[in-house]
Amino acid sequence: MKYVLDTHALLWALFKPEALSRGVRGIIEDVRNEVNVSAVSFWEISLKYSLGKLELQGAVPEDIPEAARESGMQIMELDVDVVSSSYRLIATKHRDPFDRLIVWHCIKAGHILLTKDPEMKLYERAGLRHRW
């Protein structure tokens, strides 16, 4: 199966794995699964870090992509087709631009989002598959 870690799940996987559910840890550890991270997550991390809304334990945002790769994760680069078509994602009360683009990236790629965010249920009717 192909999965995408939401930004909080990525940070927990790298810095606080005990915060992940047992099921998500199992998915990440199962070598038969492809675990991906959207490039959007690195932008979100960088922005929140610069605003002082995110602390990284002994790291800076530039360290995160390599840490993800070293952990066996694949990086999903953003391409112009995903970005330019993101307006097609259904409108909901959930307006976080990072989450919306990660959701759209997952839908377009046909991957399952690993997230604890209950707001993601709003996107099921648009085709988002998610787990926690």
Answering whether pTM is above 0.85, one says yes
pLDDT values of the chain reduced to their tens digit, one per residue, 132 residues: 999 999 999 999 999 999 999 999 999 999 999 999 999 999 999 999 999 999 998 999 999 999 999 999 999 999 999 999 999 999 888 889 999 999 999 999 999 999 999 999 999 999 999 999
Q: Domain containing 12 — which CATH number?
A: 3.40.50.1010
What domain range is 22 assigned to? 2-131
Phi and psi at 18, nearest 5°, equal -65, -15
Would you call 74 exposed, middle or buried from its count of C-beta atoms within 10 A (0-12, 13-18, 19+)?
middle
Count structural domains, the chain. Answer: 1
